[in-house]
Amino acid sequence: MRQLSNLFHYLFIIPRVNFRLVRINRVLKNLKEEVVKNPDWESIISSKDFDLRLTQYVQVHSLLDFSLCGLAGRKISRVELKACVYFCACLPLYDDFFDKSNLSKKEIKDLMHFPQGFKPENSVQELFVHLLDVVYKNLPDSELFGRYFEQLYYGQQESKRLVDSRLSIEEVQKIAFQKGGYSALLFRSILKHPLIDGEEKALHQLGAVGQVLDDLFDLWDDLEEGINTVVTKFNRDFTPVFNLYIKEVDQLKLSFQALNYQQKNKDRFIRELMLLVNGGTICGQHYLKLQAENNGVFDIEKMGREALVCDMENKFNRLKMIKQSILNA
């Protein structure tokens, strides 16, 4: 009965998601038109790789904020959507800004709380500060946003330890889940309605699932670069990793169902959320299929990079994701 109900609701959810993407892409288009007026900034965002990352960041995180507003029984405002899109545009610049600069901790903290006072030294920093300044001008609570942003930075710094092969699975999981948790809280702080009891914990769980989701698709690159993630700890059998992801997704649903929001809003939120997280489910199932075809051994060197690709732009995979969402939302 639940699956039949899900099927009915997805007939409305999928067109709604497409409508939201139209709104999101309109704001993104305006951002690009604004940025390209500066020739130095245009050269930064014009690369194909940057544009792809920018679009992915903007669409995924903005759709999530749309859903979080729906959870509270309200619609996202124009100001909130602009703040979300502009902050997403900061993310591809994040590593260049923080990892490749010699900023002190105080300078970084000052920047995160008061970008207007920062003096950029190059065009990447100029663009980052400009985008972040727009974000701050559209925030409901800049102090809360700055606090979560600072925590995310520390989580990002801690994640540099993931190159240490001696880390246990428990240590890797703690680092990854903390980073993912603060990322989810940061995007939630863009929205004007206050957190309710238990929501911060649920958002931490959402961030944890999001981190594993990213790591599933980055498996080959992370292994090649010597980065430990929850997903790389498979020891020739990917089943435990897949089971961990499913367990975390189940916990995610329970966490949000426990919140004191209207039941119909919680059900709709879970259904929309599954369209995002089931990309990871399909990817994990793809890896398990490869393992079965390799006599039950998950040997990625033998399988090769091309075989590991799980293209979620593929229509067949998108249909599988919708089917999976009908089954487990």
HEC letters along the chain: CHHHHHHHHHHHHHHHHHHHHHHHHHHHHHHHHHHCCCHHHHHHHCCHHHHHHHHHHHHHHHHHHHHHHHHCCCCCCHHHHHHHHHHHHHHHHHHHHHHCCCCCHHHHHHHHHCHHHCCCCCHHHHHHHHHHHHHHHCCCCHHHHHHHHHHHHHHHHHHHHHHCCCCCHHHHHHHHHHHHHHHHHHHHCCCCCCCCCCHHHHHHHHHHHHHHHHHHHCHHHHHHCCCCCCCCCCCCCCHHHHHHHHHHHHHHHHHHHCCCCCHHHHHHHHHHHHHHHHHHHHHHHHHHHHHHHCCCCCCHHHHCHHHHCCCCCCHHHHHHHHHHHHHHC
pLDDT at 310: 93
- Distance between CA 263 and CA 253 in Å, rounded? 13
- Distance between CA 89 and CA 83 in Å, rounded? 10
Which amino acid, residue 197?
Answer: D
Query: What per-residue string of b and e applies to 116-152 under the rule 16 or more CB within 10 Å gives b?
Result: eebebeeebbbbbbbbbebbbebbbebebbbbbbbbb
φ, ψ for residue 218, nearest 5 deg: -100, 15
pLDDT(165) > 70: yes
pLDDT(100) > 70: no
Is residue 7 within 8 A of residue 13, CB to CB? The reply is: no
Q: For 217-245, what is each residue's pLDDT tens digit?
A: 999 999 999 999 999 988 899 999 999 99
Neighbours of 13 (CB within 10 A): 20
pTM (2 d.p.): 0.92
**Angle, helices 263-293/239-257, rounded to nearest 10 degrees:** 180
pLDDT at 109: 78
φ, ψ for residue 230, nearest 5 deg: -60, -35
Q: For 297-310, what is each residue's pLDDT tens digit?
A: 999 999 999 999 99
Domain 2-328 sits in CATH at 1.10.600.10
Residue 279's alpha-carbon distances to 59, 110, 171, 273, in angstroms, are 14, 37, 25, 11
Which residues, at least 6 apart from 52, have a Cβ–Cβ distance to it below 8 Å?
A: none
Which residues, at least 6 apart from 37, have a Cβ–Cβ distance to it below 8 Å?
A: none
Q: For 45-64, what is each residue's pLDDT tens digit?
A: 888 788 888 999 999 999 99
Is residue 152 within 8 A of residue 204, CB to CB? The reply is: no
pLDDT at 88: 94
Average pLDDT on 126-149 reads 94
Average pLDDT on 185-191 reads 97
